[in-house]
Amino acid sequence: MAQGSSQPKPGHRVAVIVDEGTNPFEVGVATELFGLPRPELGLAGPLYDVTLCAPTREVRMNHGFFTMTGVAPLDAVDEADTLVVPGRPDNVVPRGAAVRDAIRRTHARGARVMSLCTGSFALAEAGLLEGRRATTHWRWADIFRALHPGVLLEPDVLFVDDGDILTASGSAAALDLCLHVVRRDHGAEVANAVSRRLVFAAHRDGGQKQFVERPLPDVPDESLAPLLAWAQGRLGEPLTVGDLAARAAVSPATLHRRFRAQLGTTPLAWLTGERVTLACRLIERGEERLDVVAARSGLGTAANLRARVRRETGLSPSAYRRRFGQGGGEPLMS
């Protein structure tokens, strides 16, 4: 969590490159998440200052659905704190030299760089991903590996946060990554408010493996949604995997298989992640007593709370409160 503030600060500049053939959905995701006013947060303006920029005055979007005009020149990237590179369908054709150079110099001066869906091809073409972790859409994974064998591709995840370079696996995963960036910059409470306005989960478990085409089972598993909603309302209780299995009227082994198939994670990992998220929200809202946060979130002890929060956020509870809490810098009390 390299950046952050307890209150949204619109001074952070985001540039979105709109190149020939760019996917409109991903441009829309970036502008929706970063550039729209946030009345749900009591703000008249957006969380970030967003600029769309392009190498030409007119840009024909994917499949020629429309042509975008009136965007800023490509040198707008030189003022950006974060650069967003959406994908496009013709990934075997390299981006133009001007776009590659803009990506390269933006990263070289220390700005954060994000790709959405197959925008990772452009980052790799610019030389940013050599020897680094990244992801791309599962349908393009084999082609990506063939073109860029030096990249540490993780094809089964929704997104990869590698510090100053972040990559999303697909168009919908662009929402996951952009919400992750909002959470990273502004905290879980703000990200949850934005996700509620989007009517989109603030954090989706599992990876894109769950979306890879495969034959349907003869008897599909039942949805986990009712069980997840039931558990989320009882995180402070001593829930176990056995309790979840009993609620779903299945064996723990069957429950484990369903979590793996539908969410790409285990019941215990999901339960722990939900509890850490709740703990972070309690800290942001001003609860100063570590033992109270641990009890209300279901993490049990202050020691377990410290370990889990640090593992998930990279910060101690006190450091998390200083960055994202309402009350400022007073340390949390055990």
Distance CA(182)–CA(178), nearest Å, equals 6
| Stretch 133-137: mean pLDDT | 93
Express each pLDDT in 313-327 by its tens digit.
888 888 888 887 765
Q: Is 280 a residue of the active site?
A: no
Other CB atoms closer than 10 Å to residue 312's CB: what's the count?
16
Whole-model pTM?
0.67
Which of 53, 117, 178, 280 is an active site residue?
A: 117
- Nearest Cα to Cα of residue 153 among 196, 207, 104, 110: 207
Contact between residue 219 and residue 312 where contact means Cβ atoms under 8 Å apart:
no
Return the DSSP state at 217: P
Name the pLDDT band for 2 (thresholds 50, 70, 90). Answer: very low
pLDDT for residue 210: 39
Express each pLDDT in 201-232 by its tens digit.
665 655 444 344 434 344 444 678 889 989 98
The tokens describing 254, both together, are: 């069957």
Distance CA(9)–CA(25), nearest Å, equals 26
